[in-house]
Structure 1
């Protein structure tokens, strides 16, 4: 039985609210016979409140056979020095907790971004245990930070992060890339092509939802707006999501095309450091058809998407988003729901463009978003349904999470094969 360690600060078990990529993969790998331990921060990055470590340096829980080690890290609220301290604390704590054999001998270690310290911890532990190391790139630091103006190119911090990134590219035995065009960028940057394997985000198709229920608070909101065209966003409310643009779009429509505005209702479901500011902004702008709701567990997501007429992926404009492409977690939940998807991007090679399953619009531009909404409203229901069905078929072909987990299992098996023995050389055989 191969023992895989996954190191990702923001990893969550299958079925919980938030980024469950690693919990989902781990769930499938355990079913295939692998042993999986996930090291993650006990501090909830979405709510900025919940502490899964229960105040201990490390607290272990098990979820359908997957072991989660929740590490104590300091709290933070915004993207400031306290968040940096939180990341550094996770890096140090995972090294201290995992370096002395407490969790057995790993056969493979996977370190995953977004931040590079998870990858660095994974590479150091792989050296410590003399095991293969897999680097997973979900975001591209420091490039993304520069594009979002969170870091100055050429600064000491930028050079340090770039140095760590270059080291990890060299050190990794395999690099898994989530953004759809990142593998080409890495290959062009000198990384050996055989090291790189694209492994996008995915979704469990047709999972049983017998026990899932739509929260009463959301039921009420959908009932209030039952006669309007419901645009639903689900996910983080952070800087990179630029949800202020959604509110400015609603205001633009209210001021310039009130007849269109009155046909629409917006639902923003999730949490993050900008949520309070966004709620206050919506109140100040008197946007009575914009509604906020707390995050919902994964099992509830299909019940929410069922209520939507269109589903929204919203990201800040950034050069790297087009350069590397993006594979947003919720995009595949949306496409699986067979509903039209709206996506703020100038990338003309997205799955929406390839399959006709939705519409894209220029980020940071309320007029562009308003035009797309007006176009979608004017379409026939038959055409909107055809869009949704095209997305569903694309997900079934390319983003079935069970099939993606099988691809990951193939990588693990490849890395765990013993090196050819010197005895295999017939000249050395007796």
Structure 2
């Protein structure tokens, strides 16, 4: 057990707790830190395009307790469109309130501040708290900004927003005591940006064992009957429909599936939904299915034969990927084929799937056939190996232990 006076502030605009939609990475870590004896405060925002049920209230702050965690909601500018200027204004408003909260509570100052992107502007708050409150500053990077804006949104490096966020990014890298990344090769990017060695530790997205053991629900039978084939193998993608994943690849693979009798199912929603629906018209072996609540997702994935994912050909992905959906995929115990020039230790180390190069239909269908030809015993073994890996390597309990070692190092 840690001493109760070891105080942690976890700052993350897009964090959430189950009461208002879902426990996020930050909430799971906070609960584990509390179990270890830390006094933990989670600072988060009530404005997000990811959740529609966040608390609305008057005044700048709303405080509550959640599994021993001190949760402080910050009442900031609302927005719905993630591409809106109001999103950036919401980021700025959030950081101003974070600093006000820090000023008001400076007598109970934190020993450790974790500033988690997005919003990357939290690197400013972390830097100020380090200087003014003498706190240890851990900069947690879950998305590489502004590189993602340049590669995925097409902004130029000379764009004022990119220039500003680039300055913030370098500030966070230089001023932080430790950098935590969810990607395995983040160190390469950090050293490229600031030309100096930094303590960079990979702590990937984790697994809540409790969620998989106690919070699962069954999908309605009619959902499976509507979208899944009983005569063909089902190749399934489940997740966000966004530009970064280039899901049009699966439409092309389905359209040109010569001599391969399979059924593609794309499950989800997102900004690319209408475009994908238009592209898939007239393709009989591909279906776009409605989004599934994550608690019911495992009951859907059990009906798949092979699970699919894809990443666009962007340099930002070479630093490593550990998408949450791979945890769901691996717990379902089904093999995964990922298309892209990416580094994905989860699949490679566990043996739960393969990564193949883009635009190689032959390699894709060879991998599909290899998995479909597996014996029943081999399929069971793959499922056991996949689940064992995520429980042994990715449980929040074990990752929190690794995280806590950074507090005193």
TM-score by length of 1: 0.80
1:365 CA drift (Å) = 7.1
Specify which of 213, 219, 243 is matched with residue 217 of structure 2. Answer: 213
What residue number does 2:117 align with? 113
Kindly report which structure 2 residues correspond to 1:321-360, keeping only aligned pairs within 5 A, or say none: 321-322=317-318, 324-347=319-342, 350-360=345-355
Q: How far apart are residue 121 of structure 1 and its match?
A: 2.4
Which residue of the partner structure matches residue 266 of structure 1?
265
Q: 1:405 to 1:157 in 2, by over 3 A?
A: same
Give 3-state SS (helix, strand or coil) of 1:6's partner.
strand
Aligned residue for 1:52, secondary structure, equals coil
Residues 251 and 285, structure 1, Cα contact 8 Å, conserved in 2: no
Tell me the CA shift for residue 369 of structure 1.
Answer: 4.9
- What corresponds to 1:407 in structure 2? 402
Matching residue of 2:386: 391
The residue aligned with 2:93 is 89
Query: Is 2:318 aligned against 1:316?
Result: no
Residues 45 and 134 (structure 1), Cα distance of their counterparts in 2 relative to 1, 3 Å cut: same
Question: Please, which of 229, 235, 246 is the counterpart of residue 242 of structure 1?
Answer: 246
Q: For residue 394 of structure 1, give the secondary structure of its aligned residue in structure 2.
A: helix
Please point out which of 231, 235, 248 is paired with 1:231.
235
- Spell out, residue by residue over 1:117-148, the C-alpha distance to the aligned partner (whole angstroms, 9 max, x if none): 12222322343432111101112222222222
* Cα offsets for 1:195-253 (capped at 9, x unmatched): 3222122213475644532243xx32213425143334333333223334334433443
- Equivalence for 2:10: 6
Residue 133 in 1 paired to residue 130 in 2? no
SS of aligned partner of 2:241: coil
Counterpart in the other structure of 1:53: 56
Counterpart-to-counterpart distance in 2, 1:396 and 1:211 = 16
1:353-372 pair list within 5 angstroms:
353-363=348-358, 369=364, 372=367
> Which whole-Å CA distance do the structure 1 matches of 2:343 and 2:49 have between them?
31
For 2:122 and 2:95, locate their aligned partners in 1 and report how far apart those are by CA, in whole Å.
6
Contact 1:10-1:19 at 8 Å conserved across structures: no
- Give the whole-Å Cα distance in 2 for the aligned partners of 1:9 and 1:33: 24
Q: 1:330 to 1:360 in 2, by over 3 A?
A: same
Following superposition, the deviation at residue 406 of structure 1 comes to 0.8
Aligned-pair CA distance for 1:367: 7.3
Number of the residue aligned with 2:25:
21
CA contact (8 A) 2:340 2:357 kept: yes
Q: Distance in 2 between matches of 1:15 and 1:302?
A: 21
Asked if the contact 1:45/1:272 (under 8 Å) is kept, the reply is no
How many equivalent residue pairs? Answer: 401
Aligned: 1:196 with 2:205 = no
1: CA distance between counterparts of 2:88 and 2:398? 36
2:291 corresponding residue in structure 1:
294
With CA pairs under 8 Å and 6+ residues apart, which has the higher RCO, 1 or 2? 1
CA–CA distance in structure 2, aligned partners of residues 290 and 127 of structure 1: 54
Distance 2:18 2:358 in 1: 31
Shift of 1:36: 1.9
Displacement, 1:15?
A: 8.9
Q: 1:93 to 1:349 in 2, by over 3 A?
A: closer
> Cα distance 1:55–1:335, how it changes in 2: closer, same or farther (>3 A)?
farther
Deviation readout 1:315-359 (Å, 9 max, x if unpaired): 32211211x111212222322332211222223664323443212
Instruction: Name which of 63, 68, 83 aligns with 1:65.
Output: 68
After TM superposition, the structure 1 stretch with the greater mean CA deviation from structure 2, 397-406 or 387-396, is 387-396
SS, match of residue 37 in structure 1: strand
Q: Match of 1:235, SS?
A: strand
The change in CA–CA distance for 1:38 and 1:150 in structure 2 (over 3 A counts) is farther
* Contact residue 18 and residue 235 of structure 1 kept, 8 A: no
Tell me the residue number matched to 1:175: 179
Taking structure 2 as the reference length, what is the TM-score of the superposition?
0.84
Report the CA distance shift for 1:162/1:60 in structure 2 as closer, same or farther (over 3 A).
same
Q: Determine the structure 1 residue equivalent to 2:152.
A: 148
Distance 2:203 2:71 in 1: 22
Decide whether the 8 Å contact of 2:145 with 2:165 is kept in 1: yes
